[in-house]
Structure 1
Amino acid sequence: MHLPDCLPASFTPAKNAPCFSTSSQRALKRLVKSGLAGMLGLMLQASAADPAPAGSTTVAPTSSQAPAPATGSDGSSSRFDWSKVPPVTAPSRPGMFSIAPSGPGYYSLWDHITGNKRENPPVSPYAPYALMTTPAFDIDFRYLEKPDHEKDIFDPIKRIHLGDDFLLSFGGSFWYRYMRESDARLTNTSDNYHMIRSRFHADLWYQDRIRLFAEFLDARTFGQALAPLATDVNHTDMLNVFADIKIANIKDGPAYLRVGRQELLYGSQRLISTLDWVNTRRTFQGIKGFWRTPTFDLDAFWVRPMVTERNNFDNWDEKREFFGLWGTYKPMKGHLADFYFLSLDDNRNLAVGRAGVRGDSITHTLGSRLAGDYNQFLYELEGMYQFGQYSNQDISAFAVASGAGYHFKGKPLNPQFWLRYDFASGDNNLTDGSRTTFNQLFPFGNYYLGWIDRVGRQNIHDFNAQLNLHPLPWANFTAQYHRFYLANKRDFLYNAAGAATLRDATGQSGSYVGDEIDFRFNIHVDRHEDVLIGYSKLFAGNFLKAQAPRVSPDLFYVQYNFRF
């Protein structure tokens, strides 16, 4: 699909796009579901094949049979080879990715204090950053199978061998964040409060065939002047509870079936993310089949979003179904291509903001993404097209994310610079026969559109730039600048959660929303600890000045994160 480089704010693709009748939508939905079932059936019927070649850095596929046992000094065979279990999914590069420093240096504040200068970055399962969207079940501790690994105080609770065939691990995290907001949520209210989140998990494997994983979550806030958001509080609940069953080895990778409550994370996280910025994270419940190889990953899933009930156990949303196919091709190190088809069936009879149109919807998203780095040049391009039905309206919407950057390799501070343009379509008439506002689904919106959370990937132009510096290997500074315009000045401004917040139906307030600056400074204290300090400011443009007078919000936060 070719997309033009520059699109006018009044562009409405519905006028030129094909329309799909309600019966066609239902037929397509049945087709997608049957395709999902067919893929899972194919996995079930697949015959065992050769194990993946050695040397893969992204995943570690396993054979359908245990490796040939080695012979010990007493003539007995050794235990199952655990060096490739679990076959974890390495997190995909997000947009505006940065390349960490390498070579000799101090890679944590503790290393610097103790004089432990390293020749290269240490092997560590955790990213050296306070925010980490990677689910706990994909944190890679397989290096512990090597006798010469660097020792850690928490090693005794990791990869506990129970006989020859069972493996048990424990882990968790704790974070505290102080938040100070002015003009919070586009009101004239200032809010100073505290967030605390605790997580704990247990992970049990039988060889590489069966896995049971459970993760506890408790999220609380203190001192909020405004009512806590649904993403702020969740008392004593389960974030993940699932079983993995190995179905087969297909060509050079294992295929698994996952059943239960599970976090999802795909691609750039513009559409599907665990959303680590919020106190509760995001999770789903359902079934997923996944196949992992050194060069290609393929997932098929059917899930329902979990509804947070802060004082009760969460339940899934029976009125929403989310299903799709996602493939990632990794032709060489540093480069990737995503291809996906997603469907969200929403039967909550929602209104489009406050425009009076209510109804159920089925939204299909077809998209692709390219990202990588070549000779110090950084690049990313993602295109997303949506079609479907909203009440009696035909959906035709799209979004584009593009960026180019440069890594000044070998220079002091390890500087990296990005220039980006993000676009998501809006609608100039919310009550006619077409719906052209993009649906951002389940994104990590803050990362792309500002940490104040006032702008989402719907009805928006965002011209932005990012500078990333490492004053020291253990210190990371990021500065971002955004200039926001409504894609259509008669549609709403949507926030990071996708909620419609402000609108001028006449369009007389203009399209210039405002400018946002974001600064973040992360201190990697040691392998387990990070401190993140951030400040964001949104300067009101003509639209905000007209719709929310005397509002110009800012945000200051300090976060401490501990993982074990």
Structure 2
Amino acid sequence: MKTLTKCSLSLLAVCVSGVLHAAETPTSTWPERSPIVFWGDRANEDWSYVDNLAEADKSFSEKLKRLDISEDGDWKVSFAGNVKVALDNRWNHMYDSDIRKDNELRSRMQFSADVTYQDWMRMFGEIRTNYTNLDAAGPVDDAGTDFHQFFAEFKLLDDGEQYLSTRLGRQEIYLNEWQMMNREPTPVQSSWNAVSAKYKVNGINFDAYYGEEVFPLFEDGSFAGNWDDKTNGKKSTGLFANWRMDFGAMQAYVMSNELTNSSFVNAPDGDVDIQVLGIHAHDFVSEGFGYMVDGVYQFGDHAGKDISAYMAYADFNYNWKADWNYRVGMNLHYASGSDANSDKVNTFNPLWTGDPVGFAHDGAYGNAMQFGGYSVIEYSPKQSIITGFMSTWRANTEDAIYTLNQDVLFGENSDEKYAYTQFYLQFHNYLTGNLKSEVNMYYALESDYTRDVVGTSSDDIARIELAFIYNF
């Protein structure tokens, strides 16, 4: 399984505790009300506020939401969509000059309909389709057309003190989704046939799920078949809790997962039985000091090998307002790696965590130690410039470096501890309330390590991506 991150909407946005149908977001809690913001999972948006808007005051998106389909208004339907098209002159993220992929074209589209009855029952369906010109694309970029989500949701209790709802059917399940720095959510592939529940009492939000992953079939060298997504037979169970304290929002979770070797690095063939313990805290502010920290521990077994791996991440930032809004911050990241020929799997596998690095998710993630700094300038609402760098070392010199998606970023064919430093410059601008453009530029400095595993050509360590995203 490959999990992509979905980062963010605004420099000053409230962060999201995005577990299942998320807990404390402005727009992703049903039935709480607030102005809408586009998120990655359209199933978590709450458009009920448009019931109180005059037709003349509605935007194009609002005119497609909460449409009466019965005379008494008990039945309503909403329509939504997300289209992303990107042209990527990619530095190959495996740093192999022989298979460099120039001018990659990607498109990802999702269209949904949401039928509600008296705001206590709903049916949500979403179709996903995607395309890429890559010869050997993964399921996220080239999985054809299929149902991404199709579930029924029931609100079982809502008395002002307690809230309980449940979902049954195909649905997305997330761990963490943090929205910041005006980055646009990216539709993902992960779908589950699952039952999930949300319970809220005394300011504590509990989420639980039990399900089986749905995955496109790989046939004839690609994932591009239509209407062929199938469950893979692997079950997963998770329990999450999140709450708010004086110093920020907290989240703790435990999961038990069955996986396959195709989604697990540095392990022999065979099924994986892995448990995950995690804790998270954040406090993002519009002025003053903010932070985000994560800690994750994985344990279990894989074909007789013990699993014991961990990851830690921290983001510390300072924010202030003037004519423009500013943020400066620093990132610290550590993910463990394995010794060669070890009888234990110590490489951290980012199967269930979002990408905390966010702006550098194509950079090193597993078996990596990283330090970076960044700045964000929001010169008008939802118009921002992001700059920064990320320096990377190997946590274990006998192990390769891996991306968030568990591709080999660098092989282990070097004795160097220090890997490389990547600089980035990004422009994220909303052209209209629905249409956004992104220009993302990256450049990794040459080093002894890159010369060992890449060669001397700098063409393979530069990248520029142009993307347009349209939401309605």
After superposition, the C-alpha distances for 1:425-460 in whole angstroms (9 at most, x for unaligned) are 11224432x222212114443853715x2422x211
Structure 1 residue 202 displacement after superposition: 0.7
Corresponding residue of 2:167:
258
Please state whether the residue corresponding to 1:526 is helix, strand or coil: coil
2:248 to 335, 339, 342: 335
Corresponding residue of 2:213:
305
Please state whether the residue corresponding to 1:455 is helix, strand or coil: coil
Corresponding residue of 1:560:
468
Instruction: Say yes or no: does 1:536 pair with 2:413.
Output: no
- In 1: Cα distance, 2:381 partner to 2:331 partner: 26
Corresponding residue of 1:153:
60
Instruction: Say yes or no: does 1:220 pair with 2:131.
Output: yes
- In 1: Cα distance, 2:91 partner to 2:281 partner: 38
- In 1: Cα distance, 2:435 partner to 2:381 partner: 15
Indicate the larger mover: 369-378 or 254-263: 369-378
Corresponding residue of 1:289:
197
**Retained in 2: the 8 A contact 1:184–1:190?**
no
Alignment of 1:351-370 (within 5 A): 352-353=265-266, 357-370=268-281
Please state whether the residue corresponding to 2:232 is helix, strand or coil: coil
Instruction: Say yes or no: does 1:439 pair with 2:349.
Output: yes
TM-score, with structure 2 as normaliser: 0.82
1:169 to 70, 73, 78: 78
After superposition, the C-alpha distances for 1:439-491 in whole angstroms (9 at most, x for unaligned) are 2114443853715x2422x2110101121101222411111310011101111
Corresponding residue of 1:414:
325
Structure 1 residue 267 displacement after superposition: 2.9
TM-score, with structure 1 as normaliser: 0.70
Alignment of 1:392-541 (within 5 A): 392-408=304-320, 410-432=321-343, 434-445=344-355, 447-448=357-358, 450-451=360-361, 453-456=362-365, 458-500=366-408, 502-504=410-412, 509-541=415-447
Corresponding residue of 1:101:
none
2:110 to 169, 193, 199: 199
Alignment of 1:120-131 (within 5 A): 124-127=35-38
**Retained in 2: the 8 A contact 1:511–1:542?**
no
- In 1: Cα distance, 2:145 partner to 2:126 partner: 11
Task: Give unmatched runs, 5+ long, in structure 2.
Answer: 1-23, 217-222
Corresponding residue of 2:153:
244
Flag the structure with higher strand content. Answer: 2
Corresponding residue of 2:121:
210
Structure 1 residue 518 displacement after superposition: 1.9
**Retained in 2: the 8 A contact 1:58–1:294?**
no
1:339 alignment partner AA: A
Please state whether the residue corresponding to 2:328 is helix, strand or coil: strand
**Retained in 1: the 8 A contact 2:289–2:316?**
yes
**Retained in 2: the 8 A contact 1:349–1:360?**
no
Alignment of 1:264-275 (within 5 A): 264-268=173-177
- In 2: Cα distance, 1:265 partner to 1:139 partner: 15
- In 1: Cα distance, 2:409 partner to 2:389 partner: 22
**Retained in 2: the 8 A contact 1:534–1:558?**
yes
Sequence identity percentage: 19
Instruction: Say yes or no: does 1:87 pair with 2:31.
Output: yes
1:347/1:153 CA distance change after superposition, 3 Å: closer
Task: Give unmatched runs, 5+ long, in structure 1.
Answer: 1-55, 62-85, 91-122
Corresponding residue of 2:9:
none
Corresponding residue of 2:45:
139
Please state whether the residue corresponding to 2:450 is helix, strand or coil: helix
Aligned residues: 431
Please state whether the residue corresponding to 2:350 is helix, strand or coil: coil
1:350/1:529 CA distance change after superposition, 3 Å: closer
Flag the structure with larger Rg: 1
1:326 to 240, 257, 266: 240
- In 1: Cα distance, 2:115 partner to 2:415 partner: 57
